[in-house]
């Protein structure tokens, strides 16, 4: 059944919505991971504002599924509590499957509804969710496989100089030949020092035996975690890799979770030897907390990817060793287009003391730079 955490009894009737269609924001340098194509622009697609009958607003990232599927149903239905809305859509998308694009768009809806409620209450969203502090712990990574060794190390050194305590870079770009990855890891360790956390992300590039061969060579270099070494659904390969690591006495964390959309898959990961869970885009943010509680009970580590500037509101509920990912190549390019954003300092996002979401867009700047493609208005019928 649907997760009831963060559900509130107040009725929300959506009277108006505004969708801002945003063009892809060009990256200064093309980005590629071990298995994906070359990316020349950020993932950012659009921004939604919803308004209730009293004019309170909830806002956040959204895509075409919000305007085509979720919003028409909300504008043509009586008001519901945020929990009832989420329960309603939980069953509306039942047959689409956990991996469908409707799941992350439902997460966007969850943020919109919670932001509206936080604005009604006059509270910063993280405080409305129950946080007792105003910051979230973050690691900064990226490390495209297209970068030269020198450019990669320069970026990682900059992250350290900015105060981050952990970084991550991409590996697996040469298939089963990981000699370049080991070379770059050696250079990163030499440049950043022994006390700095360095994680690596293969983006599912290998089979278990190749991942193990890499781990054997990488282990002396102090890998913080090995992320997505094998296919996201190959539980047998994960079990094989964990057994090989244990038999060799290699204590290296296997991290999985950013490519799946279900709490239940995270449970299966833990049962197959994964000791670092990474919930990112589940159907609601309460599911991230559900994975977090499972991780704590079973001795797993947890970190969360996605839109860091928004996720900071959730990260304020995490402990100091439960990190958010700040993906530098795809997220840093967005910063000039924010009119409100957390202060980024010493490996933390310090959230602004304003009601609602800790990030707002600067629409005038987007329009000035030719990135605001259009604005659509929607009304309750």
pLDDT digits (tens, 9 = 90+) for 81-113: 999 999 999 999 999 988 999 999 999 999 999
Do 88 and 143 meet the contact criterion of CB atoms below 8 Å apart? no
The mean of the pLDDT values for the chain is: 97
pLDDT at position 98 is 85
Q: Is 156 found in the same domain as 80?
A: no
**What would the two tokens of residue 93 be?**
């998308």
Q: Is 289 found in the same domain as 186?
A: yes
Convert the pLDDT of each residue in 264-275 to its tens digit. 999 999 999 999
Average pLDDT over residues 160-164: 98
Residue 175 domain-assigned (yes or no): yes
Question: How does residue 2 score in pLDDT terms, banded at 50, 70 and 90?
Answer: confident
Q: Is 203 found in the same domain as 178?
A: yes
Phi-psi map region of 143: left, alpha, beta (phi>0 left; psi -120 to 50 alpha): left
Q: Is 295 found in the same domain as 148?
A: yes
Convert the pLDDT of each residue in 192-206 to its tens digit. 999 999 999 999 999
Q: Is 298 found in the same domain as 149?
A: yes
**What would the DSSP string read from start to end of 145-207?**
TTS-HHHHHHHHHHHHHTT-SEEEEE--TTTT--HHHHHHHHHHHHHH-TTSEEEEE-TT---
Convert the pLDDT of each residue in 240-256 to its tens digit. 999 999 999 999 999 99
In this predicted structure, the answer to whether residue 80 has a pLDDT above a threshold of 70 is yes
Torsion sign over Cα 13, 18, 23, 26: negative
Do 169 and 142 meet the contact criterion of CB atoms below 8 Å apart? yes
Convert the pLDDT of each residue in 217-237 to its tens digit. 999 999 999 999 999 999 999
**Which is it for strands 254-256 and 223-227: parallel, antiparallel or unpaired?**
parallel
Residue 212 domain-assigned (yes or no): yes
User: Which residues, 6+ apart, have CB-to-CB distance to 205 below 8 Å?
Assistant: 34, 35, 171, 172, 173, 175, 229
- Give the total number of structural domains in the chain: 2
Residues in the chain: 381
Q: Is 140 found in the same domain as 97?
A: no
Residue 6 domain-assigned (yes or no): no
d(CA 18, CA 59) in angstroms, rounded, equals: 9
Q: Is 135 found in the same domain as 116?
A: no
Owning domain of residue 75: 11-122+361-379
Q: Is 353 found in the same domain as 300?
A: yes
Do 287 and 98 meet the contact criterion of CB atoms below 8 Å apart? no
**What would the two tokens of residue 311 be?**
């996720």
Residue 308 domain-assigned (yes or no): yes
d(CA 31, CA 147) in angstroms, rounded, equals: 8
Residue 2 domain-assigned (yes or no): no
pLDDT at position 1 is 65
Residue 4 domain-assigned (yes or no): no
Q: At what angle do helices 102-121 and 82-92 cross, to 10 degrees?
A: 170
Average pLDDT over residues 284-304: 97
Torsion sign over Cα 202, 270, 278, 84: positive
Average pLDDT over residues 129-139: 98
Residue 365: CATH number of its domain: 3.30.390.10
Q: Is 154 found in the same domain as 114?
A: no
């Amino acid at each position: 059944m649907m997760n009831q955490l963060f559900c509130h009894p107040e009725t929300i009737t959506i009277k108006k919505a505004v969708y801002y269609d945003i063009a892809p924001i060009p990256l200064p340098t093309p980005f590629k991971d071990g298995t994906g194509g070359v990316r020349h622009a950020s993932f950012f697609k659009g921004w939604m504002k919803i308004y209730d009958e009293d004019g309170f607003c909830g806002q956040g990232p959204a895509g075409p599924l919000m305007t085509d599927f979720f919003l028409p149903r909300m504008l043509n239905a009586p008001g519901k509590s945020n929990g009832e809305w989420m329960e309603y859509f939980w069953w509306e998308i039942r047959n689409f499957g956990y991996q469908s694009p409707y799941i992350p768009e439902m997460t966007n809806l969850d943020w919109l509804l919670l932001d509206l409620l936080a604005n009604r209450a006059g509270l910063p969203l993280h405080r409305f969710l129950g946080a007792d502090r105003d910051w979230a712990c973050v690691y900064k990574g990226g490390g495209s496989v297209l970068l030269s060794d020198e450019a990669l190390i320069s970026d990682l050194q900059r992250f350290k100089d900015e105060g981050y305590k952990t970084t991550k870079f991409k590996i697996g770009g040469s298939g089963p030949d990981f000699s370049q990855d080991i070379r770059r890891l050696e250079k990163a360790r030499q440049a950043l020092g022994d006390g700095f956390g360095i994680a690596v992300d293969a983006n599912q590039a290998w089979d278990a035996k190749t991942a193990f061969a890499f781990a054997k060579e990488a282990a002396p270099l102090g890998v913080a975690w090995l992320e997505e070494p094998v296919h996201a659904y190959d539980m047998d390969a994960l079990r094989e890799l964990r057994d090989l690591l244990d038999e060799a006495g290699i204590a290296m964390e296997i991290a999985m979770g950013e490519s799946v959309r279900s709490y239940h898959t995270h449970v299966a990961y833990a049962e197959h030897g994964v000791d670092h869970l990474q919930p990112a885009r589940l159907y609601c943010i309460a599911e991230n907390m559900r994975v977090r509680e499972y991780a704590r009970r079973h001795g797993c580590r947890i970190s969360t990817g996605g839109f860091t500037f928004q996720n900071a509101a959730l990260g304020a509920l995490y402990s100091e060793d439960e990190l958010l990912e700040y993906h530098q190549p795809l997220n840093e390019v967005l910063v000039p287009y924010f009119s409100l954003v957390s202060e980024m300092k010493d490996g933390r996002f310090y959230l602004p003391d304003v009601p609602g979401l800790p990030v707002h867009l600067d629409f005038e700047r987007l329009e000035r730079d030719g990135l605001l493609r259009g604005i659509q208005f929607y009304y309750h019928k």
